Every structure is written in structure tokens, then in C-alpha cells.
Amino acid sequence: MKILFIGDIVGESGRKAVKTLLPKLQKQHALDFVIANGENAAGGNGITPKIATELFSYGVDVITSGDHLWDQKEVMELLSNEKRFLRPLNYPAGTPGQGSFVALNGSLPPVAVLNVQGRTFMQPPLENPFVLARAEVERLRSQTKIIFVDFHAEATSEKIALGRMLAGEVSAVVGTHTHVQTADEQILRGGTAYLTDAGFTGPHDGCLGRDIEPVIKKFLTSMPQRFELAVHRVMLHGAVIEIDNATGKAIKIERVKEQLT
């Protein structure tokens, strides 16, 4: 089985990149399943039901999120009605939505997707992702051996530590949030694919998807600025993971870096 994970989709240009480039990637890699982090898909801030429907129509099977979960009030509708949309698992009990989903995948084994958020340098502070992820993985393994984890976190050390803890228990741990694609893709002991950050899908001629000048001005003056989205050099970042159907172990991980404009 081959799974494509698409790094944080930012704004309309990021969505256009998915629409335009995903068919090419599906053909090139013979993909069986597609996961995307969509927490910045609505103008760089959050996601709406309309945008989630748009991404599903392009071929995305499951959408994960992160610390921008609550930026759009319409997200409550998604959390209540769409099982294929995930919020971080480690929100307190009673929070709407779910942190994991097991997707049927035709004649192939089911795919479990788990979304967790880190605590180091992250807001809001959530429950311990290490404790909750370990328990949830154990539960998911009773349903399928193929488990993909999106760890939405800032600190590289925290991401690596979770990957090492879950090595041999899940098929892949891929980080999101920093919008900078790392070059440390590897297969950890026990057959777990790992990448510290998948990068982001959107305009790269800026500062993490935003216009350059307001970001620099904020650093120069320490005054609040309005960060509009950048426009040029739109790219799709992510990773393709090949997984053994019988064992759920990763065979190969390959970074994806495709340019739209």
C-alpha cells in the first residue's frame, strides 16, 4: 500500500496545488490512500466544511488539523458531522470531534489515522500526547496494522521522541506545524516510517506562506502586523510511504516536493 501525506495546506493557492498536482502524484506513485493536514486551508487560518468538502472531492481521504483548529467558527459543524476530519486526540474529554479514524480502503486493509498535538512551545496546552497516543495506538491495532500518525508539534526533539516511542507500533509518524520540510526521512526500528516535518502546501516565496514585509516589520518593531498570504512559488510538500499490507510495516518513505507555479 502507498499512502501520500500532504503537508499543511495554506489558503486557496495550497488548495489549487492539491487539485492540480494530486492526479499527477496518484499516477506517478500508484497511491492507495491520501491524508492531508488542512488546518490552514481557509485563508491560512483554520478550515470550513465547504473547504473540507472541496479537499475530499480532490481525492483526499482524511483531513488532520492542529493548533489553528478553532480559527473558523464553522469548524464545529465538521467536528460534529464529519468522521474523516480529525482534531488532535489530546484535547480534554468532552471536546467535540475525534482524534482518530479507521478508514475502510476497498480490498486493501483499513487505514487508521491518528492526529496528536505537541505541548512544547504550543498553544493551547493540551493533555500529554505521549500517554494518550500510546493508549490510542494500542486500541487502533486491534482494528488494523496500518496506522499513520500526524504529530502537529513545534519542537524537533518532541517529534523525534514520539516517533521513537511508537517505533514498531505504527506504520508512520510524520510531523507538521513548522511549515519547513525536513530531510531526515527514515525507517525506524520495527518498520516505522518517520519524517520530522512534511513541510507545507502553498506559496513558498514568503515567510512560512505569509507576505515577507509584515513579518520582517514585526521583528523590527515588535508591533502587531496583519500577515497576508504570499502568492508566488506555490508548492505541494509531503511524503509517500510504502507499507507492507500484511504486517503494517513501512518499506520506504520518500519526500514529495512538487511546484505548481
Q: Taking Cα atoms as reference points, which of 91, 58, 245 lies closest to residue 38?
A: 58
Check whether 87 has a pLDDT greater than 80.
Answer: yes
Check whether 180 has a pLDDT greater than 90.
Answer: yes
- pLDDT given for residue 220 in this prediction: 96
Percent of the chain at pLDDT > 70 equals: 100
Catalytic residues: 68
- pLDDT given for residue 140 in this prediction: 98
Residue pointed to by grid coordinates 503537508: 7
CA atoms of 98 and 8, how far apart (whole Å): 19
CATH label of the domain that carries residue 171 = 3.60.21.10
Q: Taking Cα atoms as reference points, which of 149, 75, 65, 80 lies closest to residue 112?
A: 149
- pLDDT given for residue 75 in this prediction: 98
- pLDDT given for residue 52 in this prediction: 98
CA atoms of 92 and 17, how far apart (whole Å): 34
Please compute the mean of the pLDDT values over residues 181-209 and round it to a whole number.
Answer: 97
- pLDDT given for residue 151 in this prediction: 98
Per residue in 5-33, pLDDT tens? 999 999 999 999 999 999 999 999 999 99
State how far Cα 86 lies from the chain centre.
Answer: 10
Percent of the chain at pLDDT > 90 equals: 98
Check whether 49 has a pLDDT greater than 80.
Answer: yes
Give me the domain span that covers residue 77.
Answer: 2-259
- pLDDT given for residue 30 in this prediction: 98
Per residue in 117-131, pLDDT tens? 999 999 999 999 999
Alpha helix (H) residue ranges in the chain: 11-29, 49-57, 75-81, 129-140, 156-166, 212-221
- pLDDT given for residue 211 in this prediction: 92
Count of the separate structural domains present in the chain: 1
Check whether 261 has a pLDDT greater than 90.
Answer: no
- pLDDT given for residue 46 in this prediction: 97
